[in-house]
């Protein structure tokens, strides 16, 4: 199950991120990728686009699962990996905390 919250006001973001186990951002281009950093800071594993400035901090398989935002099968596979593999999810969360601290 998932919840599509639509547009969320900034003041509600932290509360929402803190309830998520996985944060998905499929923007076709990221300048910095604030959504990914916010998700990591709140303890969620992330599936993020692999294009743009976000590559300054993401490492596929280390602190996120990076995908082509136009490759639906890859996106679904990444999400299912995180759902099915709690060890991988925990590994990405821990690395995400280190990424945000850095």
Residue 37 pLDDT class (50, 70, 90 cuts): very high
Question: CA 74, CA 59: separation in Å to the nearest integer?
Answer: 16
Higher per-residue confidence, 19 vs 60: 60
Q: What digits encode the pLDDT tens for the residues 71-83? A: 999 999 999 999 9
Q: How large is the average pLDDT for residues 76-97?
A: 97
pLDDT at position 80:
97
Measured distance between the N- and C-terminal CA atoms of the chain, rounded to whole angstroms: 33
- The predicted-structure confidence for 5-31, as pLDDT tens digits, reads as follows 888 888 888 888 888 899 999 988 778
């Amino acid at each position: 199950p998932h919840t599509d919250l639509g547009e969320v006001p900034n003041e509600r973001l932290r509360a929402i991120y803190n309830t998520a186990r996985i944060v998905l951002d499929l923007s076709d281009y990221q300048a910095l990728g604030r959504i990914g950093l916010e998700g990591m800071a709140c303890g969620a594993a992330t599936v993020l686009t692999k294009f743009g400035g976000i590559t300054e901090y993401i490492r596929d398989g280390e602190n996120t699962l990076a995908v082509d935002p136009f490759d639906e099968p890859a996106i679904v596979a990444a999400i299912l990996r995180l759902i099915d593999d709690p060890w991988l999810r925990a590994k990405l969360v821990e690395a995400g905390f280190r990424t945000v601290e850095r």
